[in-house]
Chain A
Amino acid sequence: MNYNPAAMRSEMQDTQQRFVTFVDKLEIKLKEFAEASLPELTEMNDNDEDAYKQTYHRMKSAVLGQVDSIRKKAYDVLEEKVMLYQVPWEDAALRQQFMDMRNTCQERYTQLEDLIQYYREKIEETFSEDLEAKYQYILDEYERIKDKFLCTQCGGGLTIDKIYFTTTYIACPFCQTQNTFEPSSQAKSLEHLGRSLAEKRTAHLLKASHHNGQLEEDAFRKKHRLEMDMAFEQNSREKTRLAAELANAVQHWENTRNETIRLYKNYLRAMFDEWNNINPGLTAEHERFHERMLQDYLDSKKNN
Chain B
Amino acid sequence: MEENKKPLSLLEKMKQKAREQKMYGGEQEDKSAGMKARDCPNCGAGRMQQDGLTHCAYCGFEFLSVTLTDGINIKKEDNSPQH
Contact = CB atoms under 8 A, between A and B. Distances in A.
Physical contact A–B (CB less than 8 Å): yes
Interface of A: 29, 32-33, 36-37, 40, 44, 50-52, 54-56, 58-59, 62-63, 66, 141, 145, 149-153, 158, 164, 166, 168-172, 175-187, 281-282
Interface in B18-54: 18-19, 21, 23, 27-38, 46-50, 53
A70 B72 CA distance: 51
Given A40-B15, A184-B32, 18 more contacts: A32-B7, A36-B7, A50-B28, A51-B28, A54-B23, A55-B19, A59-B14, A66-B14, A151-B37, A152-B35, A153-B46, A164-B73, A176-B48, A179-B36, A180-B35, A182-B33, A184-B31, A184-B33
B35 A169 contact: no
Nearest to B37: A152
B14 A166 contact: no
A276 to B, nearest CB: 14
Contacts of B11: 33, 36-37, 40
A179 B35 contact: yes
B74 A169 contact: yes
Contacts of A180: 35-38
Q: Shortest 7 CB-CB distances between A and B: which pairs?
A: A171-B49, A59-B18, A152-B37, A58-B18, A33-B7, A149-B35, A178-B47
Contacts, number: 105
A166 B53 contact: no
Contacts of B1: none
Contacts of A44: 15, 18
B72 A181 contact: no
Nearest to B31: A185
Given A153-B46, A177-B48, A62 B14 contact: yes
Contacts of B18: 44, 55-56, 58-59, 62
Contacts of A56: 18
Contacts of B53: 169, 178
A170 B46 CA distance: 14
A299 B68 CA distance: 37
B4 A185 contact: no
Contact of A186 (B14, B30, B47, B49): B30
B interface, how many residues as a size bin? 20 to 34
B75 to A, nearest CB: 11
Contacts of A166: 72-73
Given A37-B11, A179-B35, A184 B48 contact: no
B47 A32 contact: no
Contacts of A29: 7
B83 interface: no
A17 B4 CA distance: 25
B66 interface: no
B21 A52 contact: no
A168 B49 contact: no
A281 B36 CA distance: 23
B35 A63 contact: no
B49 A36 contact: no
Contact of B49 (A50, A178, A183): A178
18 contacts: A32-B7, A33-B11, A44-B18, A51-B28, A52-B28, A54-B23, A62-B14, A62-B18, A145-B33, A152-B35, A164-B73, A168-B74, A169-B73, A181-B33, A184-B30, A184-B31, A186-B30, A281-B73
Contacts of B28: 50-52, 185
Contacts of B10: 33, 66
